[in-house]
Amino acid sequence: MFSLLFLLLLCLILSLLMFFHKYITTKHLPPGPKGLPIIGNLHQLDISKLYLQFSQFSKIYGPIFSLQLGLRQAIVVSSAEIAKEVLKNNDLVFSNRPMLYGQQKLTYNGSEMVFTPYGEVWRELRKICVVHIFSSKHGSYYSSIRMFEVKKMIKKISEHASSSSNINLSELLISLSSTITCRIAFGKSYEDEGHERSRFHGLLHEFQALLMEFFVADYIPFTGWIDKVRGLHGRVDRNFKEFDEFYQEIIDQHLDPNREHSEEVIVDVLLKLKKQNLSSIDLTFDHIKGVLVDMLVAATDTTSATSVWTLTALIKNPRVMNKVQQEIRKTGARKEFLDENDIQSFPYLKAVIKETLRLYLPAPLLVPRESREKCIISGYNIPANTILYVNAWAIQRDPNVWKNPDEFYPERFLESSINFLGQDFELIPFGAGHRICPGLSMAVASIELILANLLYFFDWKLPDGLVKEDIDTEMLPGITQHKKNPLYLAAESPT
Ligand code: HEM
């Protein structure tokens, strides 16, 4: 009897302790919408348009608000000032990424960069990327691939230009960036019709869908069976296995001693580092495959989406289109191709791209972060393991910071020194701090080269019967925000 009473008392004390611990750690959180027990705010969220929904919430609850995602605490930041507080003043605290089932499984469980928590593996892979992959040593070869592929595209469009048919620029530009990325990463592309193309694109399509998929167990533990019943675990396992075989084939081809000599691409650089044991971690094939996955996740869609959004904004703003074409065509003698040197004298083109990345950024909520320890942000207590969303979409359209924020007006960047390099928190399409996009320079170099040449060689017209208001700017939900409806335009050679 005595021992039963003792046990009950112990349980009571433990429950009270747990209650107070939770009360103390979650005390004075930012305000937020009221949720339901267990699921919190999950039922209120529309995953396809989170950045818009979060913008609406921030109008009610302020520039920092809380969400309860099942049993997980989250905060959303929607002002440049607080973005600076989390991404600069508390950069190391928020340098983790949330570990989500599908993302982890498909990206070799922490063997890559984008979704891997802060730690030794992430630090070493990031160093490898910056020092060995994006370095100037290989930069000139990557640049020659970019130029070759952009020239090929210009030739293809020229053939269309004479027939005055409309061109699906969305499709063309996705194919171009996919070719450039695959050639730089794997040394070959998958754009020619046939089995290889359909296998690669089939796998990539499913992979991207799964990265965006909502797994209940990520927010409410012990509900993994729901995801299993929904068939998600099976889909993840299948996609992972098939993509793993695909990467292994590439590695085997590059390890083949009889392989014809060719320029080093990313997979060769990584294999060399592994062979020479030059890395501070034991670089495994999983790490190499993880970095290849990163190239596909991070490089292809972001570059093509930005190029399509720029052309969309230009066709809707003929004044800007005229002005940028005048700048580009003022290069003197007729050129066969504009290269990276020519582009340095196009400040207005650079401003046009910045303005596109302000209004139509490919990752409106950046890539979510997670706090490694408790901290205080804007006077609120933020517990450890809180998911952080930075609503860059809202920040980059904030009327308190930007004059006429919804207007496409590149001149604003000619008159100011604001840049997207992670120092100006009102413009952060590439993020900021330790986890800022390491592909920033490569992305900008590709986008500038593509657009300069498209605008130099062709006049772009709306399809017959359409007016500029018919071209929509709706975003397709996805890991990268593409234009929902493909952009069709007609190309004419300038007279
Ligand atoms: C991360 C945007 C192109 C590789 C990121 C992040 C953003 C971003 C917002 C998260 C940053 C943060 O958490 O603060 C973009 C945009 C691009 C682009 C807008 C093009 C317009 C590229 C390219 C590559 C690349 C071309 C590779 C060649 C990566 C990688 C990460 C990353 C590896 C993960 C970094 C980490 O977590 O440490 N990118 N990106 N990105 N990006 Fe990009």
Residue indicated by tokens 């840049």:
419
Atom index in ligand 1 nearest the CA of residue 294 equals 33
Q: In angstroms, what is the span from residue 177 Cα to ligand 1's centroid?
A: 15
CB-based contact 285:248 (threshold 8 Å): yes
Q: In angstroms, what is the span from residue 159 Cα to ligand 1's centroid?
A: 34
Q: DSSP 3-state assignment of 351?
A: helix
Closest residue CA from atom 38 of ligand 1? 435
- Rounded distance, CA 470 to CA 224, Å? 45
Q: Over range 35-51, report the average pLDDT.
A: 94
Tokens encoding 51: 């950045």
Predicted local distance difference test score (pLDDT) of residue 27: 67
Task: For the chain, give the longest Cα–Cα distance.
Answer: 100
For 489, list phi and psi in degrees, rounded to 5: -140, 160
Closest residue CA from atom 17 of ligand 1? 302
Closest residue CA from atom 6 of ligand 1? 437
Q: In angstroms, what is the span from residue 316 Cα to ligand 1's centroid?
A: 28
* SS (HEC) of 439-482: CHHHHHHHHHHHHHHHHHHCEEECCCCCCHHHCCCCEECCCCCE
Atom index in ligand 1 nearest the CA of residue 112 equals 33
Closest residue CA from atom 2 of ligand 1? 430
- Rounded distance, CA 422 to CA 275, Å? 35
Predicted local distance difference test score (pLDDT) of residue 17: 47
364 vs 9, 107, 182, 410, CA distance in Å?
Answer: 51, 22, 25, 19
Note the pLDDT tens digit of each residue in 111-156.
Answer: 999 999 999 999 999 999 998 888 767 777 889 999 999 999 999 9
For 97, list phi and psi in degrees, rounded to 5: -115, 145
Using most ligand atoms within 8 A of CB, pick from 178, 366, 437 the residue to mutate for ligand 1.
437
Residue indicated by tokens 């950024």:
361
Q: In angstroms, what is the span from residue 212 Cα to ligand 1's centroid?
A: 16
Atom index in ligand 1 nearest the CA of residue 443 equals 26
Atom index in ligand 1 nearest the CA of residue 129 equals 33
Note the pLDDT tens digit of each residue in 389-402.
Answer: 999 999 999 999 99
Confidence of residue 3 (pLDDT cuts 50, 70, 90): low
Residue 363 has pLDDT above 80, yes or no: yes
| CA proximity to 462, closest of 283, 321, 345 | 321
Atom index in ligand 1 nearest the CA of residue 87 equals 14
Predicted local distance difference test score (pLDDT) of residue 9: 60
Predicted local distance difference test score (pLDDT) of residue 75: 98
Closest residue CA from atom 15 of ligand 1? 430
Handedness of CA 11, 27, 72, 49 (dihedral sign): positive
Between 486 and 333, the higher pLDDT residue = 486
Predicted local distance difference test score (pLDDT) of residue 11: 46
- 437 among annotated binding-site residues: yes
Closest residue CA from atom 7 of ligand 1? 430
Predicted local distance difference test score (pLDDT) of residue 14: 46
Closest residue CA from atom 42 of ligand 1? 437
Sequence-separated (6 or more) residues with CB below 8 Å from residue 81: 63, 425
Closest residue CA from atom 12 of ligand 1? 431
Q: In angstroms, what is the span from residue 295 Cα to ligand 1's centroid?
A: 9
DSSP H stretches of helix in 299-336: 300-316, 318-329
Note the pLDDT tens digit of each residue in 201-231.
Answer: 999 999 999 999 999 999 999 999 999 999 9
Enumerate residues lining ligand 1, CB below 6 A: 113-114, 126, 294-295, 298-299, 302-303, 306, 361-363, 366-367, 429-432, 435-439, 442-443
Using most ligand atoms within 8 A of CB, pick from 173, 430, 441 the residue to mutate for ligand 1.
430
Residue indicated by tokens 């112990």:
10
Predicted local distance difference test score (pLDDT) of residue 479: 79
Atom index in ligand 1 nearest the CA of residue 362 equals 19
Confidence of residue 194 (pLDDT cuts 50, 70, 90): confident
471 vs 64, 342, 484, CA distance in Å?
Answer: 34, 31, 11
The 8-class DSSP code of residue 277 comes to: T
Sequence-separated (6 or more) residues with CB below 8 Å from residue 399: 405
Q: Over range 78-106, report the average pLDDT.
A: 97
Q: In angstroms, what is the span from residue 439 Cα to ligand 1's centroid?
A: 6
Closest residue CA from atom 28 of ligand 1? 439
pLDDT averaged over every residue in the chain: 92
- Rounded distance, CA 179 to CA 292, Å? 14
Q: In angstroms, what is the span from residue 167 Cα to ligand 1's centroid?
A: 29
- Rounded distance, CA 73 to CA 65, Å? 11
CB-based contact 255:271 (threshold 8 Å): yes
Most confident of 138-142, 264-268, 408-412: 408-412
Tokens encoding 300: 């292809």
For 210, list phi and psi in degrees, rounded to 5: -70, -35
- Rounded distance, CA 76 to CA 209, Å? 24
Q: In angstroms, what is the span from residue 108 Cα to ligand 1's centroid?
A: 18
Q: In angstroms, what is the span from residue 291 Cα to ligand 1's centroid?
A: 13
Q: In angstroms, what is the span from residue 443 Cα to ligand 1's centroid?
A: 9
CB-based contact 306:443 (threshold 8 Å): yes
Percent of the chain with pLDDT over 90: 80
DSSP H stretches of helix in 360-409: 392-395
Whether the full predicted model's pTM is greater than 0.90, yes or no, is yes
Q: Over range 268-289, report the average pLDDT.
A: 90
Atom index in ligand 1 nearest the CA of residue 433 equals 14
Atom index in ligand 1 nearest the CA of residue 305 equals 21
Atom index in ligand 1 nearest the CA of residue 363 equals 9
Residue 439 has pLDDT above 90, yes or no: yes
Note the pLDDT tens digit of each residue in 445-479.
Answer: 999 999 999 999 999 999 999 999 999 999 888 87
Between 13 and 256, the higher pLDDT residue = 256
Closest residue CA from atom 27 of ligand 1? 439
Residue 160 has pLDDT above 90, yes or no: no
- In 202-331 the beta strands, taken as DSSP E runs, fall at none
Q: Over range 6-28, report the average pLDDT.
A: 53
Tell me the residue type at 449.
Answer: L
State the helix-helix crossing angle for 300-316 and 169-186, rounded to 10 degrees. Answer: 150
Q: In angstroms, what is the span from residue 438 Cα to ligand 1's centroid?
A: 6
